[in-house]
Structure 1
Amino acid sequence: MLVSVSAVLLLGLLIWFLLRIRYLRWADLLLCSAFGFLLARTMAAPLVATVLDGLGAFLGGLRF
């Protein structure tokens, strides 16, 4: 678990850095996939799922 948490932090920082410098390429798919799989194995997974559910409900409630 400790390795996955540190890997999530490292990959999250790398994704943030790539977004900041606007340099996203082929590695995006692999990097973001690895980040997602590792994030799902941490204690943050339920919080992320709750936030995404709330965001989905909010966006679903919008009327245009």
Structure 2
Amino acid sequence: MVISVSVVLLLALLAMMLMRNHALKPSHAVLCVLLGFCLASTSLAPTIHSTLVSAADLVSTLRP
């Protein structure tokens, strides 16, 4: 659960930065959110989740 909250916060921050720089319009951000909800209810959701968990594990093993 912590990973998914972190990913959501990271993506929200990225979307806010893009909207601030006028690279992403609010309507596009809403569309991305709706797409995320639609993807969460499909059969691809477990694959997407496992990919994100694997990526988070990979990033957590990196040392600066």
The TM tier, using the shorter chain, reads: 0.5 to 0.7
Return the TM-score normalized by structure 1.
0.61
Query: Residue in 1 aligned with 2:17?
Result: none
**d(CA) in 1 for partners of 2:30 and 2:59?**
28
How many matched pairs? 42
Larger radius of gyration: 1
Moved over 6 A (4+): none
**Pairwise CA distance, 1:28:** 2.4
Structure with greater contact order relative to length (CA < 8 Å, sep ≥ 6): 1
Return the TM-score normalized by structure 2.
0.61
- Unaligned runs of at least 5 residues, structure 2: 1-22
- The CA RMSD measured in Å over matched residues stands at 1.1
